Amino acid sequence: MNTFARFDKRANLPRNMIENSMFEEEPDVVDLTFPTLDPDEVAYEPRSSRLLVRGLGENDMDDDEEDCESSARLLGMSFMNRSSSHRSSSSPYVRQSPPRSCSRPSARTMVVCVFLLVIVASLTMVLYFLPGCTFTKAGCPQPNKTTPLEPVYPNSTNGELFPWAELRLPHSIRPLSYDLTFTPDLDSMTFTGKAAIEMSVLHNTKRIVLHAANLNITKATFKARDVTVLEYKPRQQIAVKFPEELKTDQQCVLTFEYNANLSHSYDGFYNNLQLLMWTQFLFPYFLIFKTTFISLHVGLVAKTTLLSSGLEQDEFEKTNVNMSTYLVAFIVANFTSVSSSASGTNVSVYSVPYKKEQTGFALDTASKLLQFYNKFFEIEYPLKKLDLVAIPDFLAGAMENWGLITFRETTLLLDNNSSSFEKQVVASVIAHEIAHQWFGNLVTMSWWNDLWLNEGFATYMEYMSLQEIMPSFDTGYLFLTVRFRALDKDALNSSHPVSTEVNTPEQIEEMFDSVSYEKGASILLMLNASLPEEQQFKKGIIRYLKSFSGLNTETVDLWNSLTQVSNPRKNISEMMSLWTSQKGFPLVTVSRKGDMVTFSQEPFLLTSDNTTKAPRQWNIPITFVNDSCSLAPACRQMFNLSKKSGTVLKVPESVKWLKLNYKNTGFYIVDYGQDGWSAIHDALSENINVLTAEDRASVIHNIFALSRLGRVPFVRVCQLLSFMPNETETAPVTEALLQLNSIYRLLDKRQESDLAARMKDYIQHQFGSLMESQTWEEEESLSKQELRSALISTACALNDEGYVAKAKSLFKNYTDSNFTSKIPGDLQQAVFTVAAQSDDGWQTLFTLYATTTNDAQKRKILKGLASTQDPHRIAWILKAGLSGDIIQTQELPLIINTVCNGFAGYLFAWDFIQVNWDRLIEKFPVGSFAIQTIVKSTTSQFSTQVHLDQVQAFFSSLKQRGSQMRSVQEALETIRLNKRWIENNLEAMRKLS
């Protein structure tokens, strides 16, 4: 494959981002393209068995600058580029001057010491304010683009000086092509490889530096002569030094031969249950493997050659697109497939042979989505084929490798008995990954700070596309709940801007969170809803895709594309840059006096932020309805709130109430004041249908958020919820249940038994009549399935005798029929959870877990098993999830999250992660979404000073093994907020009736 791109690479970073489930992807190491680079600027390519070389992309360059730069890795080859604005300002290896000291405390000596200290302090200040200062042997000279600074170099593993001292690689060469051969051996669990890298010299240099990890390089040649390879393991780097300079514009070939073990973690070239070997980041020309397997790659097989000893060699076509190497993958496996044609593209779904019958829904959905996106984006999918592959053991939910999308089996395969909800999940993941073929693959963000350009767009398109082609899946409701959770996350001081600077592998890992995904999608929805011209948003993103096809972008490129199609011309960047450059979101306060309504804004922060000097504000597209017209889209009125306060509307005094943020399309929270909340309460008490279901859910979410902030007393929250016995729509009910169940669990874990009992009675009183109206038979409507699942799961979790008995009866019928009778898919989780509380039920479920081939059901069974309150079984399932022998390690975050929901398990889980932390970060990288989930699950229900101290002490002790993770700061902040809320509301909760 002779593909060399303006694209670059991403890190070996899991990214599975549909919250609290494994529905998204885990990109492997990738870094991307940046303009204006100095010859010795550096870039990061992280972990796994791989080899990386730095160079530039195929771009015209001015004499004084490099337009882009990239690197490649073998068994993890990546391209990566960074602009000068991101380069490190100092070397990690600093030779300090010997410290001065005063040996005797004489007056003269003291004066001299003070004088020296003043000089040192002055020099330090000067050096601090010098831009781009790097401490070197020569001190800190002024930056010079033509004369790179000489840092102090570390030692190689053989003791020789390693010729590079930065994490990022030099820009001295540009790889042109890669001639690669891989021969995996499943018997010995090893592979051998050969790489011939053709490159062009961009700047005179005596060294070639690459990233490599866990490779045993047996031979290296340059110009037909053997060369010595130096290694520096802390940076995962290797280097070749030359006695004479390689000259600018010289072309040469560097060849490596190597071998390595197949990886047993989730990165690198790893084996999977003896069924397949796969990777997410290679440029193979040739794959050599046993003839009993098949090979898959981004491109099509151009030639197959039978070799001796039962081996086969596949040679792949060169691709016809510029491609980031993180999007290249290959698989060697015993798989089978089903195929169809869509818009001239061959679409196939691959699985292990005995699950072939579960691939039909995915094939049909992928074909429909590919045709939809081709038409919507007005750009045809550029490759000849699109493969979707179900991987038996896969940490992420899915990964958008170009032309070879990989999925966890639970997010791709469905059998004939699968419920509509399970189909919705699979369709959503497929929609997200195929959207990436344009947003992320065709156009890629330039650096990890703008990850949201990939993930926010794919998330937005996932909901929008399915609402168009599969409206029965009700993805509008799903997107609404996702926006609520994104607001919850972004309300924390430990959150981050949508676009934020990242410099370390851990920081990159942590960018794969709900801010990049769900908040990114939410602000796109808000922008679309605020644009005056129909189809303007669509026109803007089509312009964006066509203008930057095959290139890298920054956020401003998107805003500029949208501005260029706006009519009348509107500066989108001026409005939207505030939403991506600062964390959090606004709280809009409404006050009325006569016929005048005043609006003001302030940051909504659950924890005060004393580090922010200037008051933050946003340009907010405010939408609102009132009691005279509140349901139809035509009722919506809109204005922009760009100042902190002072925006005034004149409304007739006959208007009883205003409801802001129509259908919650805006990313902000509203406080109506005491009179405003009373007016909304009165209106809903009289007739809940005066607001749309989305607006009722929005009112519920907002008032709980304000209660957590301390702006609204909990008694007012309960007063507002008095309309709930009349509520029948899914969105308001599920939002209220989620909020109330969270409070119940906090009280339960705090051992406030009396208050927990009061909260249980309150929930049953508010929702009892709606619970009683639910059936246990098959239900066709997906919305009603979601409503029923939430209600019955809550009733069973609160140990309501009638619902527990019904769940037990349903499970008994299921087992008595030898598992041939059917439990409705939306009720399976509640039934399995109840069954797992008895010894016989738990053992039956465990047997069923080992034998079922329905992956969605298997996951529900696992959650049931993990919900046990038996301490011995809790300890066993945590250990089994970590070992990966009986239960796949990919499921450990789910197990921990489920265990923590129960009273008997949450302290077990906390102890478990403390004891096994080092093993956990061997399985899942520090900062990864899996680790984020584990940290959040085990700490989010703590609310006491004792637990706060324990959590702080443990994570502080980790040092470089996780103490600096943003998720740790989020955990500590959440515990403090839980503690504050409980203490401030104990009396109010005692008055619940």
Catalytic residues: 433
User: What is the bridge-based pairing of β-strands 276-279 and 330-333?
Assistant: antiparallel
436 is in an annotated binding site: yes
- Structure tokens, 435: 């959207």
Pick from 792, 682, 790: nearest CA to 729: 790
**Which DSSP state fits 689?**
G
How many helical (H) and strand (E) elements, i.e. helices and strands, does the chain have?
27, 31
Packing angle, helices 693-709 and 730-749, rounded to 10: 30
Kindly report whether the peptide bond that precedes residue 143 is cis, defined as omega within 30 degrees of 0.
Answer: no
* Residue partners of 44: CB distance under 8 A and separation at least 6: 11, 31, 80, 167, 168, 504, 505, 508
Question: What distance in Å separates the CA atoms of residue 586 and residue 597, rounded to the nearest whole number?
Answer: 18
Packing angle, helices 520-530 and 572-581, rounded to 10: 160
Compute the chain's Rg from CA coordinates: 29
Pick from 631, 633, 629, 771: nearest CA to 689: 631
701 is in an annotated binding site: no
Do 940 and 974 touch, CB atoms closer than 8 A? yes
Pick from 518, 426, 517: nearest CA to 473: 426
Pick from 344, 378, 350: nearest CA to 363: 350
Identity (one letter) of the amino acid at 931? I
- Structure tokens, 8: 């670059």
Q: Which residues pair with 263 in a beta bridge?
A: 270
Beta-sheet strand order (sheet of 294-297): 270-272, 276-279, 330-333, 294-297
**Which DSSP state fits 87?**
S
Question: What distance in Å separates the CA atoms of residue 810 and residue 822, rounded to the nearest whole number?
Answer: 9
CA distances from 739 to 620, 701, 721, 734, 770 (A): 27, 8, 11, 9, 17
Question: What distance in Å separates the CA atoms of residue 37 and residue 68, rounded to the nearest whole number?
Answer: 7
Question: What distance in Å separates the CA atoms of residue 587 and residue 335, rounded to the nearest whole number?
Answer: 53
Q: Which residues pair with 209 in a beta bridge?
A: 239
Pick from 367, 308, 363: nearest CA to 336: 363
Do 23 and 428 touch, CB atoms closer than 8 A? yes
Burial class (CB in 10 A: 0-12, 13-18, 19+), 273: exposed
Neighbours of 490 (CB within 10 A): 22
Burial class (CB in 10 A: 0-12, 13-18, 19+), 249: exposed
297 is in an annotated binding site: no
Identity (one letter) of the amino acid at 717? V
Pick from 365, 530, 518: nearest CA to 431: 365
- Residue 960: phi and psi, rounded to 5, are -80, 0
CA atoms within 13 A on the CB side of 154: 19
Following CA atoms 550, 556, 560, 566 in sequence, which dihedral angle do they give, to the nearest 10 degrees?
120
- Structure tokens, 638: 């809109």
- Residue 479: phi and psi, rounded to 5, are -65, -35
Do 673 and 590 touch, CB atoms closer than 8 A? yes
Question: What distance in Å separates the CA atoms of residue 593 and residue 489, rounded to the nearest whole number?
Answer: 34
Do 678 and 623 touch, CB atoms closer than 8 A? no
The C-alpha angle with vertex 270 and arms to 265 and 272, in degrees rounded to 5, equals 90
* Binding-site positions for Zn(2+): 432, 436, 455
